[in-house]
Each structure stands twice: as C-alpha cells, then as structure tokens.
Structure 1
Amino acid sequence: MGKESDTFRLRRLGLHDVSKAILLSDNESWNQTEHDWAFLIENLENLCLGVFDNDRLIGTATALNYDYVTWIGMVLVDKNYRGRGISKTLLSNIIKGIKPSQSIKLDATPAGQKVYAKFGFQEEYEILRMTATCASSKTLNSPDNENIRLITYKDIANISAYDKTAFGANRKELIAFLFSNNRKKSFVVEKNGKIEGFILGRSGSKYYHMGPLMASSPEIGEVLILKALNELESQPVLLDIVADKKDQISFLKGIGFSKKRHFIRMYQKENPASGLLGTQYLIAGPEYG
C-alpha cells in the first residue's frame, strides 16, 4: 500500500467492527445491514478482512466458505482512498488466506472485472440488477398455483439440497440465515413431495433484496416472484437476475422493474460449481452468489 503502509493496517474483521463496516457500505449507498455484516463475519469458516487508517475502516473483502468453493464479495474501498492499491492488497491477501478450494468465484462490477482478470479470474455469465420502487399493483393478484406455500423449518434441509444442485455448492448456512430473517416472504413450490422451486430474500438498508430464486421452469419462477411481491407491495425492491432469462426480464419490466447495472460472474482455477444455469433465476446478491 505504498508510503501509507505505516498508518494503514490489514487485519481480520470481528463482530466489533460491524458498525464501522456499515458506515463504509452506507457511504457507498450499498444495501447491506448489520445482519448481513454479522453473518459474513461471525462464521470462522469465512474470512473477512479490513484495511484501517488508524481506527477508520477504509476497505473490506469477504470470502464465504461453500465447502469446495470460496465466494469472494464486499470488495469495497472508501472513495477517498482509492487508487492506492488497497483493493489489490485485500484481494491478494484474502486469496492467500482462504482454505484450499477447487474454485474461487465472485460477481464483479465492470470496473472490478479488470482487477479480477489480473488475478486470473475468467468470465462465466452476466447478471442484471433491476429495481422497482413499487411493483404494478394490477399484477399482484394471488398466483394460481395450489402447490405454493410458505417455507417452514422442516423444509430447510430439502431446499438446501435443491439449491446445492442448482447453484453448484453447499449454501445451507446462507439458506437458513435468509429464511430465519424473512419467514413471511419465503416460499416454496412442492408437488408430490418434490421441490420445484423456492424464493428467499432479505431486508436491506434501502431495498428489499429478492433472491435467491431457483425454479424448474419459467412459469414456476414467475409464480414465486409474484407471490413474494404480494408481501412487498409499496416497498422498493431490488433483484439480480441471470441475463439469459430474457422472457423473465421482459416480465419484470412489465410490472415496473428497470435495469440499473450489471455484474459479471467470474471464477478462478476450475469451475466445478457451475450448477444448473437453467434453474437459476435470481441470485442471492454479489456478496453471497
């Protein structure tokens, strides 16, 4: 980090740093809450690093342990400290510090993509971020699907298994975290004892973040979106949809969503966690995959 290294310090984040992390992400108008930061930091299987200028947190990077896959996120540097190599320092140290894994993955902004490419990350596919201040009320009639219902604790194991096949890695802790914080907005479609799709989400500092959404068909995906929106009428909503879902993107535009930006999913080393792209509709967010 150059001449500033005498005052800049790199260390692992602890729960006592959550308030500082929130201040950093809020200043950049990101959507994380204290619950998000605490979830990322408190699991010792994860690695969350921060760069400090004296006592001020000026940069972060996180790495979630999904068994044989590591998910990097929250690579964030205070705008007043950019251009000093802090993001590269964070990235290089977090890659060195994580447990050995078959693959390292992340969702990059276009600006970040150039940095990650220098570390050997390759492009996989594109994801669109869409928002709506309030979805069109005329679309929010109860979906006609007798197999849709609220998720219960008893479903978590089966939903985690379904997600592992669809996503390509084990995210059972994330699934349980999202459900526990948003039970009334978590739905599953189950037919003859077989899961056909599910949707989860979380309340953010500015938007409700809808996702992940995995489904066996586009029709089930749309039913789950509408069902969740029924619980969110008049609330601002954010979602990140896999860009190959053209019909669903048109559907979302028709109910009031608009594109804000895009991400590029990238991987380093091999890519054993590609999952089943056809069943992936909404991701959980760039910090979670």
Structure 2
Amino acid sequence: MTAPKVNFKIVRNPSEPHYWPRIRELAIHNESWFNTPSDYDIWIQGFGQDDFSLWVAIDIDKDVAIGSATAANYRKLDGSPLMTFIGMVMVDPAYRGAGIGIELSKKVMEKDTGFPNKGLIAMPSMAERYRKKFGFVLQPEKNMVDVEVATKDLKLSAVESPDFIVKEATEADWDKILAYDRELVKETQRDKFMKLYCTQPDSYYRIATTPDESKILGVCLIRTLPETKLLYTGPFYAESEPIAVALFTSAFQAIRDPQKYESVRFAGYHDSPTVDFVKKIAPGVEHHFSHHFTQFTERIIEIPRPKIFSITENDVTHM
C-alpha cells in the first residue's frame, strides 16, 4: 500500500484547545489507552513547561492532530536530573506509513533530548525496535503485567481493622501523603504532579493511616473513563494486602453510578502483589493478563514493587 502524502508539522505543548481532545480520542479509542480530559493540564502544571513535553503532529492542511509523543523530566530530591520518561507515542492509523511516527520518536528518544537516562513502557511488538534504534537496552528482570477485571466479577465487602483506618484525604494529610510517596519512590521528586493527579475531577482517592492518623500506610486512586466504560486504579500502594483490599473497596464504593463501568484496570509487575490481589477481589473467574516492557537507556530506576498494587499510570511513569 502506498504511504499517504501529508504536509505535517510537529509542535511542542500546543495551547490551541482542539489538539489535546483529538489526541485523547485517538489514545482511548484506537490504542485502548486510559487518558482523562485533565491529563494534559496536570502534566504541564505538575512537571512545569520546561520539564514536560507533549509533541503533537498536525496535518497542516486540515489543522488536525494526527500523532503524539510525551516526555516528562524527573528530578531527584535535590533538583538534579534523574530520568526522562517517555510515553504516548502514536499516530492516527489513517496517517501511518508517512514517517510521522519516527519523527515523533526522535523528538523524545534521541540522545540529545531530555535527560541522559530515559525510560518507557513498551508494547511487546515495539520493545526490540526501541532497544536497537534508540538504546533502551536495560529491562528489569521482572517486568510488567496488566489485567482488566470485569466489575460484575468483583466481590467486595467493607473491611475493618484495629490496625488501620481508611479515609478520604484532607488538605491536612498531604504533607504525610507526599512524604510517603517520597519514601517509596526514593530518588524522585514529584510532589506537585501527585497532588494534582490524585485530586483530579471524576476520580476517587482514599488513604490508609495508622489509627492515630500519624502515618500513611497506603493510597489508592480510581479514575473514570465513561467513554469506554473503564476504570483505572493507580497510584495504588499499600503496606499489606488487607490494607490494599480496604483501600480499593472504599474507593470503588464511592464511585457515582458504578454500574456505568464494565471493567477496572490494574498495571503492576510480576514480582508485585497485583496478580494475587486481583484473584482475591474477583475470585473464581479466569483472568487474562497482558504484558509490557519497562526499558531504560542507562540505569534501571528501582521501585518498591512488593508494595505496588498498580502503578500511577502508563504515560509518564513506571511507578
């Protein structure tokens, strides 16, 4: 098939309001990804204009967005560079074969872009290409596992324990929440992003604390995507499975009109408790797991996978 001829340009962080909705439409309907209307604003505000890039390919003649790539610069607690995390590399199927995808990839993956150490989450079909062409040669020994659970299969009941409480987060809790996040992800400074992300519209956030509320024991955010009747869980971190069950149950039961959603998605690692957790909350059914590859160019950024029931999201982070 002859490649389409298209007059296109690639722009960074466009302010025109019609580009992001089109990119999001391509992501959720063509790629089956999970993106909310708030994502772009959260990324820009959470990382800052200098440390976040949404590259958008635009059909010049039609003034329509036809592809994208993102790059988020993560800094250490002292402000020095840690890594650039790459995501959302895609092209409208109607425009594939015109060289747009490779130009978008170059914007975020070439050595002279972003920070020296780069990371991404690749589909199995793309992992080898990223390794050979752009140097994403490092992978954790235990890589990613994703699962989608039908909401009709969930078997949830309220969990009470003398050892912890589950509650909505208040403004007074955020210093403790962010301290907990820094303790888990160690090197990474992402305070502003995390607070914006976990307080976005149409999402349900719960925290677990000690009975005196002095210490955070876990967090769980469920976001909603009515267009595809899908829920995504993350960040979802907990010190134990009972705490995780209580967190997820509380967040899920807070959802308005939960019957509108057909499935809930989790993304963890082969050595994280994701698989066992899913089997506990949806017992007696066959679960279908899919796999992705976290890849880095210079250094694998380690995370406490035994406490990660589902990572924050798949575009700008592997944590």
Both structures adopt the same fold (TM-score exceeding 0.5): yes
User: 1:150 matched to which residue of 2?
Assistant: 168
User: 1:36 matched to which residue of 2?
Assistant: 39
Among 196, 201, 211, the alignment partner of 2:217 is 196
Among 65, 68, 74, the alignment partner of 2:73 is 65
User: 1:105 matched to which residue of 2?
Assistant: 119
User: 2:90 matched to which residue of 1?
Assistant: 76
Total equivalences in the alignment: 284
Range moving further from structure 2, 276-285 or 17-26: 17-26
User: 2:102 matched to which residue of 1?
Assistant: 88
User: 2:316 matched to which residue of 1?
Assistant: 288
TM-score, length of structure 1 as denominator length: 0.86
Structure with more of its chain in helix, by fraction: 1
User: 2:79 matched to which residue of 1?
Assistant: none
SS, match of residue 177 in structure 1? helix
Among 139, 163, 172, the alignment partner of 1:123 is 139
Q: Deviations over 1:109-164 (max 9, x none)?
A: 11221222121112224222222342446x32211135211112222232222223
Distance of 2:34 and 2:145 partners within structure 1? 16
Distance of 1:159 and 1:22 partners within structure 2? 29
2:143 equivalent to 1:141:
no
TM-score, length of structure 2 as denominator length: 0.78
Q: Deviations over 1:45-77 (max 9, x none)?
A: 201112222223221100122212222111111
SS, match of residue 157 in structure 2? coil
2:265 equivalent to 1:238:
yes
Among 289, 294, 301, the alignment partner of 1:265 is 294
User: 2:233 matched to which residue of 1?
Assistant: 210
Is the CA contact 1:132–1:256 (under 8 Å) kept in the aligned structure 2?
no
Is the CA contact 2:146–2:267 (under 8 Å) kept in the aligned structure 1?
yes
2:183 equivalent to 1:176:
no
The structure-2 alpha-carbon separation of the partners of 1:31 and 1:99, relative to structure 1 and needing over 3 Å to count, comes to closer
SS, match of residue 186 in structure 1? strand
State the shift of 1:285 in Å: 1.7
Distance of 2:23 and 2:14 partners within structure 1? 10
Q: In structure 2, what residue type is equivalent to 1:190?
A: T
2:23 equivalent to 1:21:
yes
Distance of 1:219 and 1:282 partners within structure 2? 15
Is the CA contact 1:130–1:257 (under 8 Å) kept in the aligned structure 2?
no
Q: In structure 2, what residue type is equivalent to 1:21?
A: I
Distance of 2:34 and 2:65 partners within structure 1? 18
Among 64, 67, 76, the alignment partner of 1:56 is 64
Root-mean-square deviation (Å) = 2.7
2:8 equivalent to 1:8:
yes
SS, match of residue 140 in structure 1? coil
The structure-2 alpha-carbon separation of the partners of 1:36 and 1:52, relative to structure 1 and needing over 3 Å to count, comes to same
Q: Deviations over 1:29-52 (max 9, x none)?
A: 433122113323453020111222
Range moving further from structure 2, 66-75 or 85-94: 85-94
Alignment gaps of 5+ in structure 2: 76-81
Range moving further from structure 2, 19-28 or 44-53: 19-28
The structure-2 alpha-carbon separation of the partners of 1:171 and 1:40, relative to structure 1 and needing over 3 Å to count, comes to same
Distance of 1:109 and 1:6 partners within structure 2? 27
The structure-2 alpha-carbon separation of the partners of 1:197 and 1:27, relative to structure 1 and needing over 3 Å to count, comes to closer
